[in-house]
Amino acid sequence: MNNIYAAVIGILIGIMIFGLKTGIGCGFANIRKRDVLILAMGYFTISIILGSLVELVDQSYLEKIASLGMTLHVLIALALIAAGVYTQKKWSCGQDVSKKTFMVISIPCPVCLTALFVSCMILASTLETTGLKVGFLVGIVFFISVISSTFVFRKMHRSPEDLGTVMMFLGIFYLLGAMIVPAYIKAKQLNIASISGGEIDIIPMFFFFLIILGGYVLNNVRGQ
C-alpha cells in the first residue's frame, strides 16, 4: 500500500512540475488574469478528456508513445530556444512580444499532453479506478499548480527578458534530456560505466554538468 501511495504522490508531483512550467510563462509575460484562468481551465478540461480516453487505449501503445517522446522533446526544445532568443532580442529593441511568445512555454504541447495522458493511464491502473475520476484529479492538480505558480512568479516582477532566459534554459534542458537520457539507458543496459573496479554513473554527472554550464553561458549572454 505504501508503494501505491508513493507512486501516486510521485506522479502528482510530476504533474505539478508541468503546471509550474506553464505558470512561469504566465507569470513572466504581460497577460491578463482572465487569460491565465482560461489557460488553466483549458488544461483542466484536457485532463478530463484524456482521462476519459484511458480506458479506450491499450497499454501496449505506451511504448510507441515513449518512442515519439524524444523526437517531440527535440522539437519543443528548439522552439523554446528560438522563442527565448526572439523575446530577448525584441525586448532589447523596446518591444514586448511576451504576450505571444509565452505560448511556446505555456500552451499545451505534445510533450505535456503525452505526459498527462500517461499519468492518467498509470494512475487509473494504480488506483484501480475509472479514467474519468483520474482525469478530474489530474486536472485539479494542474489547475492549482498553474494558478498558484503564476501568482508567485508575478510577485517577482520579472521582465520579458527574464522570460526569454527561462525559455532558453528550458530549451537547453529539453535538448540535453533528449540526447543524454537514451545514451544513459543504453549504457546501463550494457553495464559499461566503471572506474577502478567500481561502477560509477558517469552520464548523469555529465548531464548535470552540462545543465550548470548552460545556465552559466546564458547568464553571461544576458549580462552582455
Do the beta carbons of residue 193 and residue 174 sit within 8 Å?
no
Q: Give the Cβ contact number of residue 49 at 10 Å.
A: 15
Residue 87's closest CA among 24, 142, 135?
A: 24
Burial label for 84, CB within 10 Å (0-12, 13-18, 19+), is: buried
Burial label for 210, CB within 10 Å (0-12, 13-18, 19+), is: middle
Cα separation, 149 vs 85, in Å, equals: 23
Helix (H) or strand (E) holding 194: strand 194-195
Domain boundaries, the chain: 2-223
Break the chain down into helix, strand, coil percent, rounded to 5.
85, 0, 15
Answer yes or no: pTM beyond 0.75: no
- Amino acid in position 173: F
Determine the distance from the C-alpha atom of residue 62 to the mean position of all C-alpha atoms in its chain, rounded to a whole number.
Answer: 18
Place of cell 546564458: 218
Tens place of pLDDT per residue across the chain (224 aa): 566 677 778 778 878 888 888 888 888 888 888 888 999 999 899 888 888 887 776 656 655 665 566 667 778 888 888 888 898 888 888 888 888 888 888 877 776 777 777 778 778 877 777 888 888 988 899 999 999 999 988 888 878 888 888 888 888 877 776 666 555 445 544 444 444 444 444 444 455 555 555 554 555 545 54
